[in-house]
Amino acid sequence: MIGIISAMPEEMQFLLNDLQIAKTIKKGKRTYYQGKLFNNEVVIVFSRWGKVAASATLTQLLNSFDISEVIFSGVAGALQKNLNIGDIIIGTALKQHDMDASPLYPAMEIPLLDKTSFKTSNSPKLEKATQYFLVNYSKYFDKETLKEFEIKNPKYYKGLIVSGDQFVNSDEKINIILKKAPNALCVEMEGAAVAQVCYEYDIPFQIIRIISDKANDNSHIDFPLFAKKVAGKYASGILEIYLS
């Protein structure tokens, strides 16, 4: 059974629309939707924002269901200048940019685990599904939406994603993160925590992030509307291909 997590309800709504719900379970102020999605047994859950919320949600998910794989989808802010709104990041590794137990441990190292990053299972199948979606992305949106967010020929990238309990919305914050992790592609608030829990439970983990903003002073303007109008369709379209 595949566990699918998003940090915002807007990001998972299109998946819920396609889910043949068998039952729902409410625990810890979360609703876990179990059923069939594109002929696969899945559980979909909205984690809420932040590393603690995501960790609690995933731990409950793994202890309540027989989960064989976890997929996280959602939006993120770009850290590299070549990234544009609508681009897709497939995470190959994740770090907590705000973890700092120095001088006891090196910055970003997780105490007692001797790790600064957590690798994903990085399935070629997910990459192929993303490629196929991007070839046909214009079929999922009307021209007005693409124009509104200036989405033109979106691309996908593979690499490091960083997470922290803060909304990054300035060049100053971007520069601080890039000093710690210069090769990080994007920043968000949940992925590295989910990756750590999956590592500790020995569960394969994959993550897709859609660039919603440039993590700058305009992030708060772009972010909510993008999540509502765009991100959910990306997740639904990619996962339909992946699960088919």
- Give me the active site residues, please: 11, 213
Q: Using DSSP, how many helices (H) and how many strands (E) does the chain show?
A: 8, 10
Residue with tokens 């949600």: 57
Tokens read off for 174: 């971007």
The residue count of the chain comes to: 244
Tell me which residue of 223, 230, 210 sits closest to 89, measured CA to CA.
210
Question: What dihedral angle (degrees, nearest 10) is formed by the CA atoms of 132, 83, 157, 162?
Answer: -130
d(CA 93, CA 118): 5
